[in-house]
Amino acid sequence: MVAPPSASPRSVRHLRVPGPRKEHVAEGGARRPGAYWARLLPPLAALACLTRLPSFRWPLWNPDEGYLAVQAQMLAHGGALYDTVVDRKPPLVPWLYAGAFALFGDDSLLPLKVLAVAAQLLTAVLLVSLARRRWGDAAGRTTGVLYLLISIGLNPEDTQAAAFEVFMLPCTAAAMWCADRHRWAAAGAAVACAFLTKQTGGAVLLPVGWLLWRAGARRRDTARLAAGLGLPVLAAALLTTPAGFVFWTVTGSGAYASFTGSELHVLGRGLVNAAVLAAACTGIAAPVVRVLRIARTGAPELWLWLASSVAAVLLGFHFFGHYYLQLMPPLALLGTAALQILPRERTVRALVVSGCACAVFLGWGLLAPRPELAHATRLAETVRDRTAPDDPVLFWGIHPEAYWLADRVPASRYLTAGLLTNYSGGRNGPQVGEKYAVDGAWPVFRDELRSRPPAVVVDDSRGKPFAPDRVPALRRFLAVGYEPVLRTGGAVVYVRVARESG
């Protein structure tokens, strides 16, 4: 599997080229194919639970979880995805939240947090199987442990949330697993699952296509891959609305994908998150760099997987930390590939360093305060005290979790000001305002407010570019029907003024 190193004898004298994969044979010569997994799965499951422990520390971790929770509640009350329930994301995770709420109730994200642990464990298991097939039992164990150790190597808000990327990762790993075994229909279905979880998951099609080409790209196999990919996407479109599905997942995000006017702000975020991930991967960075200098790993599909994942992170020019989660599975495999041709003590060192880094991120997740969650909770309590359970409310901000925390009905299908002003993504440049909203959003928004005015409006802009004084339509709406009654944490709470008849 590994090409001979092209370097001087002195450079490679401590390197070892892995031999053929060993058979798994028990004492006495009898094969026990299940023994490997019986020994490995319990510690992997324990490590997955340990690394996800901070996710149970708080009710939710980021606005994505809040958005999904509110969407699920709206779907449960008759909403239609891509019509009266909208977001720029594919449907699988909203459906997953809706299903969990239907089974376990909507007052807690605990079932979703458990599913997120299962998703990370499944990703690790698939990576173990990929590495074991290439380099043997020890490499499989190394890959599974490395992946789980680096899987929380970003801001806890990005790694601990039960949101899109966490559920996308087992789909991308499954796509590579199936393609590695030439199961092309299943590989296509896994790519479709990744895309339907988050659009950037479709990037795994590049290494899958490479494996198909390397296998000969027979017409029948290509057709199977295409059918496996196309049919689930077509089914998702038909189960929602085809036009709405295409608009909200593909064509309706042009302004969102531009970072004009916010270049330094966005690039700064990208560099910070890249540096944090690099710190988490310190244990495997040195082996990979060393091997790149003196040898080849013989795994081009893994490099293609990493390259396509990097392209997915760059797509949209927002560089949020959770985007970088997509890099972690190929990084774990490439780290293992590098360690296979280095002395064995380097593997131990890599695992120890990765474990120490993981401990730091684990402590960060368990101990760091959550001021934004505390702020959203205060706003939710304020709104709950001033409204009846069936009263619609409007939170004008970027924290949709306030609707879920308050247990109140949103006055609009647009759950954040970002969809109506293009502030989405923390944009701080000039492309923020009504004219940069999602196409057709403002007429719908105005109709919603006229037909069912919110009992309370909370302006949570706190000086950001989408404040009402910079959004004329909202400013006029508040001026004619609402009055401010209090301020809390920089947010302004408005209540509806009863109009005199006659």
Q: Domain check: are 146 and 184 in the same one?
A: yes
Q: pLDDT, tens digit, for every residue of 159-182?
A: 999 999 999 999 999 999 999 999
Q: Domain check: are 214 and 350 in the same one?
A: yes
Please report the pLDDT score of residue 200 as a whole number.
95
Q: Which two tokens stand for residue 375?
A: 């702020």
Q: Which two tokens stand for residue 240?
A: 């929602």
Q: Domain check: are 395 and 253 in the same one?
A: no
Alpha-carbon torsion, ordered 180, 315, 320, 274, to 10 deg: 70
Please report the pLDDT score of residue 12 as a whole number.
40
Q: Domain check: are 183 and 315 in the same one?
A: yes
Please report the pLDDT score of residue 9 as a whole number.
37
Q: For residue 1, how many other CB atoms are within 10 A of its CB? A: 15
Please report the pLDDT score of residue 5 as a whole number.
39
3-state class of 484 per DSSP?
strand
Q: Which two tokens stand for residue 83?
A: 């019509």
3-state class of 124 per DSSP?
helix
Residues 6+ away with beta carbon under 8 Å from 20 = none
Q: Domain check: are 186 and 73 in the same one?
A: yes
Range of the structural domain that residue 478 is part of: 371-496
Q: Domain check: are 380 and 286 in the same one?
A: no
Q: Domain check: are 186 and 326 in the same one?
A: yes
Q: For residue 227, how many other CB atoms are within 10 A of its CB? A: 14
pLDDT tens-place values along the chain, 502 residues long: 434 434 433 344 344 444 444 444 433 344 566 899 999 999 999 999 999 999 999 999 999 999 999 999 999 999 999 999 999 999 999 999 999 999 999 999 999 999 999 999 999 999 999 999 999 999 999 999 999 999 999 999 999 999 999 999 999 999 999 999 999 999 999 999 999 999 999 999 999 999 999 999 899 999 999 999 999 999 999 999 999 999 999 987 665 666 565 677 788 889 999 999 999 999 999 888 877 766 655 689 999 999 999 999 998 678 899 999 999 999 999 999 999 888 899 999 999 999 999 999 999 999 999 999 999 999 999 999 999 999 999 999 999 999 999 999 999 999 999 999 988 765 666 678 898 899 999 999 999 999 999 999 999 999 898 999 999 999 999 999 999 999 999 999 999 997 654 4
- Among residues 71, 64, 138, the alpha carbon closest in space to that of 98 is found at 71
Answer with the one of 310, 344, 367 that is the final residue of a domain: 367
Alpha carbons 225 and 207: distance in angstroms, whole number: 13
Alpha carbons 137 and 139: distance in angstroms, whole number: 5
Q: Which two tokens stand for residue 159?
A: 């790694």
Read off φ and ψ for residue 459, nearest 5 degrees.
-85, 100
- Among residues 120, 117, 119, 143, the alpha carbon closest in space to that of 130 is found at 143
Q: Domain check: are 148 and 242 in the same one?
A: yes
Q: Domain check: are 397 and 255 in the same one?
A: no
Please report the pLDDT score of residue 52 as a whole number.
97
Number of independent structural domains in the chain: 2
Q: Domain check: are 467 and 481 in the same one?
A: yes
- β 409-410/392-396 pair status: parallel
25 lies in a domain? Answer: no
> Do residues 55 and 108 make contact, with C-beta atoms less than 8 angstroms apart?
no
Read off φ and ψ for residue 433, nearest 5 degrees.
155, 180
Query: Sheet holding 482-488: strands in order across?
Result: 409-410, 392-396, 456-459, 491-496, 482-488
389 exposure class (CB count in 10 Å sphere: 0-12, 13-18, 19+) = exposed
Name all contacts of 107-116 with Cβ < 8 Å and 24+ positions apart.
Answer: 107/407, 108/59, 109/59, 109/60, 109/65, 109/69, 109/162, 110/56, 112/65, 112/162, 113/52, 113/55, 113/56, 113/162, 115/162, 115/167, 116/52, 116/55, 116/161, 116/162, 116/166, 116/167
This model's pTM is above 0.75? yes
